[in-house]
Structure 1
């Protein structure tokens, strides 16, 4: 899924920074960081030149650390493209990207990831990162998949729990990709997985309801996934036209 171009070992808070491109869509750049909650301190916001939002005033250290790590990953990507503007934050706390860029951010445990693409590519873009918890993902399966989807995933050449996690993460990515245009909440059942290609690390989803005049029932969206140790990263990307 990813073609790695640079690896950095950074400060104690950021022990590793990986950056590169999406292999089959090189116009999409990504940056993944590993961070340590125990090394977090508020002064890092100033050090990394990341604005400290008011809603973090009463947030626990874990929330502050993951927000900082994810926004720093996004900042590195933007700076690499010659943009020194900050990623804003909407009332729903979704990222607001500087003019000329679209992107997506995610974090879990001690990992954060960001992806961006120029707006002229006319791409919709959503990324998600999740840690594998076999018992929890199986118990929650009915929340985000139908019995038909579950049967299809059980027949894939991969552990059922891992297949479920891929689909859960991918539906999170799909929501992030479409929500800037849809502008209202929609559930997991708004889409269904119709192909999970394990060998190519690719997947296909079909919309099961019309969300906008562009994103209509029956339209397909495509994505990629990457399995890394006990975590999965998914990316949904599709031309808007």
Structure 2
């Protein structure tokens, strides 16, 4: 899923950074960083040349650190592509990408990742990373899946809780991928899981409602996923 091409470790706040491209889509670049909230300071925004949005003035340190780490990853990719404009911040908290670029951001538990691609690539990137939380998945399954989806996931050849987390994450990735095109909020019930496989690691979502003329009800959107020791990652492009 990820092809690594470079690593770095330059700052106490960002002790580890890796960059590369999505194996199946070489024009889609990624940068993943580990960040240490203990070394966060507001002054790092100026040091990294990343604008500090007004909405962060009332945010807790954890939120500020997550925001900065994800934007740092995105900025790394944009600069490598010759763009020296940092991603902006829309009123709805979605990232605003510089002209000619598209991308997606995600963060969880001291880790952040950014995807960036030229707009001309025609890609619609959506990325999500989630930590394993089996009990939470069981307790909240009804929020993001219906009974038929739960039955399909339970019948898969993987742990039910892992399959639930992949489904949850894939729907998060779907929202991030399509929101710039759709332009308004849509919930978990806008898509249903219609297929999940372990080999290859794929999950397919089917739209249950028309989101745009080009995204009618019944459209099927594939996503790939990766399972790590304590987290999963899903990707739609």
Show CA shifts across 1:94-120 (max 9, x none): 001011111001111111110011111
Q: Deviations over 1:117-161 (max 9, x none)?
A: 111111111111111111111111011011111111111121111
- Please give the alpha-carbon distance, in whole angstroms, between the structure 1 residues aligned to 2:34 and 2:10: 10
Structure 2: how far apart are the matches of 1:189 and 1:58? 32
Shift of the alpha carbon at 1:10?
A: 2.6
The answer as to 2:63 corresponding to 1:63 is: yes
Look up the match of 1:16. 16
Question: What pairs up with 1:138-149 in 2 under 5 angstroms?
Answer: 138-149=138-149
The alignment covers a number of residue pairs equal to: 237
- Distance in 2 between residues matched to 1:44 and 1:4, nearest whole Å: 26
| Alignment partners' CA distance in 1, 2:131 and 2:52 | 27
Indicate the SS of the match to 1:57: helix
Cα RMSD of the aligned pairs, angstroms, is 0.9
The two structures have a TM-score, normalised by structure 2, of 0.97
Task: After the TM superposition, list the runs of 4 or more consecutive aligned residues in structure 1 that deviate by more than 4 angstroms.
Answer: none
Q: Which residue of 1 aligns with 2:219?
A: 219
What residue number does 2:50 align with?
A: 50
Cα distance in structure 2, aligned partners of 1:77 and 1:188: 30
Aligned-partner Cα distance in 1 for 2:128–2:143: 18
CA distance in 2, matches of 1:4, 1:200: 20
